[in-house]
Amino acid sequence: MFPAWVWKMIALIDYGMGNLLSVYKALEHVGGNVEMVEKPADIVRADGVILPGVGNFGDGMEHLQSRGLADAVHQAIRRGKPFLGICLGMQMLMESSEEAPGVEGLGVFKGQVVRFPKGTEKVPHMGWNSISVRQSCPCLANVRDNSFFYFVHSYYVRTDDPSVVAASCTYIVDFAAALGQGNVFATQFHPEKSQNSGLAILKSFVDLVGDGSKKA
């Protein structure tokens, strides 16, 4: 007889943007029971939800809205399901983005997404950089301060509420590398590409889904 948590399902939202296979394989590697889902009902029935993504903010929101997935995301979060946003998935949790003026984000967190200012460093921010842990989130429980993660982005989150910043990073400016509040956790970096430190985050998320915790 398998323990009950083995059957807890994590919905990996497929809305037509980004390569989900690397996220899927990383979650399987750390013991997650993962399904790539395209329908709102599959998000609602899941025990945990992951919104990944790369690309343009406006395109991402259009894909979510046109497929009825945005409402399902809100419903999952309201029900207290452990929720993880990755890269564009984190940015779309904000209210808006300079990348797509006039397009509303999911509005889970207050604030907007802005482009890195011109400086001596290249944009996009691409490669390995260390993070500074700001608050104790279960998803960061097994991550050491100043651990390195893999980033690929030209825009970053500027939140109206500093208390939701779970980890920060410095590249041209100080920015939010991760957000955490209640059952929602999100990363600007790619945990699935960040070797052991990234796998530690995904394992912690899988464990949260397994034990039914409502805080990510």
Give the tens place of pLDDT for each residue, 115-166. 999 878 999 999 999 999 998 899 999 999 999 999 999 999 999 999 999 9
Domain ranges across the chain: 4-211
Positions marked active-site? 87, 190, 192
The separation between the first and the last C-alpha atoms of the chain, rounded to the nearest angstrom, is: 28
pLDDT band at 184 (very low <50, low <70, confident <90, very high): very high
pLDDT band at 1 (very low <50, low <70, confident <90, very high): very low
Architecture category of domain 4-211 in CATH = 3-Layer(aba) Sandwich (3.40)
State mean pLDDT over 163-177: 97
d(CA 114, CA 98): 5
Give the tens place of pLDDT for each residue, 30-69. 999 999 999 999 999 999 999 999 999 999 999 999 999 9
Tokens 């995301």, residue? 73
| pLDDT at residue 119 in the model | 77
| pLDDT at residue 88 in the model | 98
d(CA 28, CA 202): 10
